[in-house]
Amino acid sequence: SQTIHQWPATLVQPVGSPLSLECTVEGTSNPNLYWYRQAAGRGLQLLFYSVGIGQISSEVPQNLSASRPQDRQFILSSKKLLLSDSGFYLCAWSVRWQYNSPLHFGNGTRLTVT
Amino acid sequence: AQRVTQPEKLLSVFKGAPVELKCNYSYSGSPELFWYVQYSRQRLQLLLRHISRESIKGFTADLNKGETSFHLKKPFAQEEDSAMYYCALHTGGFKTIFGAGTRLFVKA
């Protein structure tokens, strides 16, 4: 069966420090991969999605970037964190080329920038 | 513009009472709609999708294109239904748009 791992679960970082959140998927090949940010009362905001290795699409201009160095690995990064980067980050995958494939989410990372 | 609206941030009902979580969408194409649920200390997960026309955990949702709605319903709420519910619109391609979510609280 397919599983998705996301880490760390919580992270406290000072302003100006770098960020690296990692997500890996097991049990499936060529997934679509996503990074969402969940804000209280505002739903989930799509940040990045990827349909293949090295292919990243950004939905919202911001201080963050994403990379996909391997088929089932998705990384969210920042060179210098801002206070506004605090939030709950979710990684998700879906089946490629399957219309209406639902999203499968990781457990999320709670990021607090101090 | 593509948008999903869940007008209620919090919905509180008594156990055994009917529950309806509202969802309205705005989309010019043919919509594909989902309900996701997040129980306490669990990951966000799919509850149901309109194309399947299924009932999951007693919940159903009917797509009403005329009213652009996809309300989630259950005739008799249970305490274990207490959770955060998100309505989501898949717009084709790779984008899924989520509503702000409704927290359902079922009182004993």
- Across B25-32, average pLDDT: 89
DSSP B81: G
The beta-carbon neighbor of A43 closest among B46, B51, B86 is: B86
- In one-letter notation, the amino acid at residue B61 is A
Q: Is B8's pLDDT higher than 90?
A: yes
- Report d(CA A65, CA B10) in Å as an integer: 33
Hunting for tokens 């990781």 — which residue is that? A106
- How confident is the model over A68-114, as pLDDT tens digits? 999 999 999 999 999 999 999 999 999 887 767 899 999 999 999 99
B51–A59 CB contact, under 8 Å: no
- In this prediction, residue A12 carries a pLDDT of 97
Could you say which of B43, B86, B99 has the minimum Cβ distance to residue A106?
B43
- Flag if A43 and B45 touch (Cβ within 8 Å): no
Q: What is the distance in angstroms between the CA of the first residue and the CA of the last residue of chain B? A: 40
B85 CB burial (10 A radius; 0-12, 13-18, 19+): buried
The pLDDT value recorded for residue B48 is 93
B86 → closest Cβ in A32, A44, A99 = A44
Q: Is the pLDDT of residue B83 over 80?
A: yes
User: Strand B60-61 and strand B96-98: pairing?
Assistant: unpaired
> Which pLDDT tens digit goes with each residue over A39-67?
777 789 999 999 999 999 988 867 899 99
Q: How many CB pairs under 8 A join A and B?
A: 48
Q: Identify the pLDDT of residue A54.
A: 92
Which residue from B9, B44, B95 is facing A46, i.e. has the nearest CB?
B95
Nearest C-alpha in A relative to B85: A43
Closest chain A residue to the Cα of B51, Cα to Cα: A100
Structure confidence at residue B54 (pLDDT):
82
Q: Tell me what the mean pLDDT of segment B87-108 comes to.
A: 90
Gap between the Cα atoms of A55 and A71, Å rounded: 10
Q: Alpha-carbon distance B60 to B2, whole Å?
A: 23
From chain B, pick out residues whose CB is under 8 angstroms from the CB of A9. Answer: none
> A97 vs chain B: nearest CA distance in angstroms?
9
Range B81-98 average pLDDT: 90
pLDDT reported for residue A41 = 72
Residue B44 has pLDDT above 80, yes or no: yes
Strand partners, B20: B73
